[in-house]
Every structure is written in C-alpha cells, then in structure tokens.
Amino acid sequence: METTLIILKPDAVQRGLMGRIISRFEDKGLQVAGAKFMRISPELAARHYTDHEGKPFYEGLVSFMTSSPVLVLALRGCGAISICRSMMGATFGSKADPGTIRGDFGVSNSFNLIHGSDSVESAARELELFFETSELIDWQRAGEGWIYDLSSGTPE
C-alpha cells in the first residue's frame, strides 16, 4: 500500500469542489488516511516548492498557494501515487482529458485545482511537511475485500 499527498488548491476550495474531488478518489477505492483544512504559510509553501525556487513562476505559485485555505489529504491504496496522478490529468486544465479532475473542472493554465505527489520519495517528503505521524490514521475499511482481491492474502 502507498500513501500519497494530495492538496486541493485554493481554486478548488473557492469553487466548492472539495467534496466532488474527494468522492472521485473514494469512488476509485482509495482510502483517506489523513485530512487537514489549513492555510499554507509562506514558509511551508517555500519548503514544499523548493525544487521550483528561482523559476519564473515560483513567486506567483507561492502567492497563489498562500492566498486561501487548502485541503490537504493523505490517500492510501495499492498504486495510490500513479492512480492519483492519472485521475488528476495533465497539469493544465486546457490540455487535460475529459474524465480527469483537471479535464472536468479546469480550463486555466495557471490555476490547476490539485497537487499530487509524483513519486514514492516525494510523497514521503511531502507527507512529512504537512502531517505529523500521529495525524495519519491506519484503519481497516469493512469493504476492503470488495475493493481489492484479497484471496491470495495480499491486495491485488
């Protein structure tokens, strides 16, 4: 099982899309292991986007991410990182396929609704930035056997 970080960005929050986006992930079979409604501080945004420091869009990105509350999620499941990335769609809503979150809800090349970790390593780093270990809940869903084939003893 993987756990990944998802951030519903200020535009998703301001447009009232949080519930619809979370429903998509839960409908897919992903488990919410943590959730936090928060304002990202400039310092936290700088640490989160450290790889983009010095790029032309960096200052605008930090400003945007600190402009309004966000919903930070820890989602868990087999292949959660690649599943979430696929569900998010292409970075820009204008280029994202219909059926993806960005393809269905976005048209902007600046506001793209959602962030998702792109690798196991970045997920671990990002989860540590936004969650204390005690805030991530390991729990068993009653319907887990209906989401994954558990006949071999491990989820498939």
**Active-site residue (options: 113, 115, 117, 127):** 115
Cα–Cα dist 82/59, whole Å: 28
Q: Is 115 among the residues known to form the active site?
A: yes
Residue with tokens 């099982």: 1
Cα–Cα dist 48/33, whole Å: 20
Tokens of 36: 């936090």
Tokens of 93: 């809503």
Q: Closest by alpha carbon to 113, among 128, 101, 126?
A: 101
User: Cα-flanking dihedrals φ and ψ of residue 86, to 5°?
Assistant: -65, -40
Q: Closest by alpha carbon to 18, among 81, 71, 85?
A: 71
With 0-12 / 13-18 / 19 or more C-beta atoms within 10 angstroms meaning exposed / middle / buried, residue 12 is buried
Name the residues annotated as catalytic.
115
